[in-house]
Amino acid sequence: MGGGDPFSFGAGVRYDKAGPVQLLVGVGFAWLPHSGLGPNAAGVRLMATVLYPLPQVNRNLSAQTQISFDILSDSVTMFAWTVGAGWAL
């Protein structure tokens, strides 16, 4: 297949009452275009995000992590784990 990450869009549900963290889980459609021969892989993306507010640093700042798993056609699967920070506007 080609390189890069799939494009995706979908819907999610946010849950703010999970103790000190906020949870977001979702499902969507994923599409992995490539420049080679043959069809582009398409399928389903499952994802979960956890946000941990850091009010002791700044009330708008949070640490976050996200995992996603793509189940694509042609027996292609992709797993990604991202760690970062978020800023609420």
Q: Which pLDDT tens digit goes with each residue over 5-46?
A: 778 899 999 998 888 999 999 999 998 887 778 788 899 999
Dihedrals phi, psi of 75, to nearest 5 degrees: 60, 30
What is the predicted pLDDT for the residue at 3? 58
Among 29-33, 53-57, 58-62, 74-78, name the one with the lowest average pLDDT: 74-78
For residue 35, the SS3 value is coil
d(CA 68, CA 52): 18
The pLDDT-based confidence of 1 (bands split at 50, 70, 90) is very low
Q: Domain map of the chain by residue range?
A: 7-87
pTM (whole model) above 0.75: yes
